[in-house]
Amino acid sequence: MDCKYFGECGSCRLYEGGYEAQLKHKVAENAKRFKPFYDKPFDTFPSKSEHYRARAEFRIWHSGDTLSYAMTGIDKRPLCIDECPQVNEHIAKLMPELLDAISRYELGEKLFGCDFLSSSEGDMVVSFLYHRRLDDVWRQKAQKLAHELSIDLIGRSRKQKVVIGKDYVIEKLLVNGREFLYKHIENSFTQPNPSVNQKMIEWTIEGLRESEEDLLELYCGAGNFTIPFATKFRKVLATEISKSSIAAAKENMQLNDIHNIEFVRMGVEEFTQALDGVREFNRMKHIDIDSYNFSTVFVDPPRAGMDEQSCRFVSRFENIIYISCNPETLLRDLEILSQTHEVEKMAVFDQFPYTHHLEMGAKLHRRKKS
């Protein structure tokens, strides 16, 4: 990556040999780690080496009347920057223009942070974070700035959110030749690397033909995988504990004119109780659980992975598709899942170049009884 701050900014970690070398190192490290469960080559999906992030967060550093973006340096002290080759081209172009406009419109008072959320096509929401209350004067100036730069703008301070325009972007992903639309809401989780996210989705549905069987999805988030999966299964039942994520997932379903998904807000433990008839939940009253014919379960848990009880529940199903943002917890969970299932394919997705982080995928099938 051609970055004048590389080796100083704590957002990246220095590797010998550039991007290809560091990806090779991560793949080799995990091939060794997962060898007890999978000894074939991983399907490997690299990132672009620069301009790959569609969202970014920066501190705002004040030096007299001058404002700068700032990151935490490798020495843990603030490092002032004026560019970042991690962010996509739309954010990179906006960054200097925005700082100039903040100064001209006098919006820098007690501004301490600036967050960017961009679509691949340049739809942009910028959030300003303040240590002061935002008044009508701030709103009038912010409206002029937003109009000049053709962005949507949000001002945040303690117990206050002021929206100039809208608080979301619409992302378009082309998955196996079909376009899918996603509403990404400011200050909520979205996949940061759209091109690698597209490859993840394609890999998860690879080999799936349109089926009369149904899919159970746990930890569905805002429907990133759910929406494309719905084109392959008769019906999808998707669970998620976050109320805001469920609301976004339902909107994304409507955006894509898909109608064979039921979303339910509950965790894995509660859903297991509902499925087994241990407890009745009002949140499940609209769902005829007996009408589903599940053979496949898809999981994309948080970094903590799944607990033992969740792994035992998932082991009930013939096919398991597992996307993980933490190889260490995936390894732990495979120790349980491999007691009943065999790992047939694994993949690595380099969402975060120049860091030790790596997304991984595993496809498992129930072992045949001897």
pLDDT in tens, 288-319: 888 999 999 999 999 999 989 999 999 999 99
Q: Which residue has the tokens 């297991």?
A: 272
The predicted-structure confidence for 160-205, as pLDDT tens digits, reads as follows: 999 999 999 999 999 999 999 999 999 888 899 999 999 999 999 9
Please give the Cα distance from 122 to 142 (Å, whole number).
20
Per-residue model confidence (pLDDT) at position 370: 60
* 359: annotated active-site residue: yes
Strand pairing class (214-218; 294-299) = parallel
Per-residue model confidence (pLDDT) at position 199: 97
* 114: annotated active-site residue: no
Catalytic residue among 50, 171, 217, 359: 359
φ/ψ region of 35 (left if φ > 0, alpha if ψ in -120 to 50, else beta) reads alpha
Per-residue model confidence (pLDDT) at position 281: 87
Q: Which residue has the tokens 């045949």?
A: 368
Res 114 pLDDT > 60: yes
Strand partners, 361: 323, 347
Helix (H, G, I), strand (E, B) or coil at 340: coil
Residues 352, 304, 322, CA angle at the centre, nearest 5°? 70
Give the DSSP H/E element, type plus range, for residue 321.
strand 319-324
Tokens of 12: 């990246």
Band (14; pLDDT cuts 50, 70, 90): low
Which of 302, 297, 243 has the alpha carbon at shortest distance from 272? 297
Question: Cβ-count burial of 179 within 10 angstroms (0-12 exposed, 13-18 middle, 19+ buried)?
Answer: exposed
Which of 137, 83, 151 has the alpha carbon at shortest distance from 106? 137
What does the pLDDT average to over 260-282?
A: 87
Lowest mean pLDDT of 210-224, 239-253, 266-280, name the range.
266-280
DSSP string, 216-249: EEES-TTTTTHHHHTTTSS-EEEEES-HHHHHHH
Catalytic residue among 16, 148, 325, 342: 325
Angle between helices 89-104 and 136-149 (to 10 degrees): 140
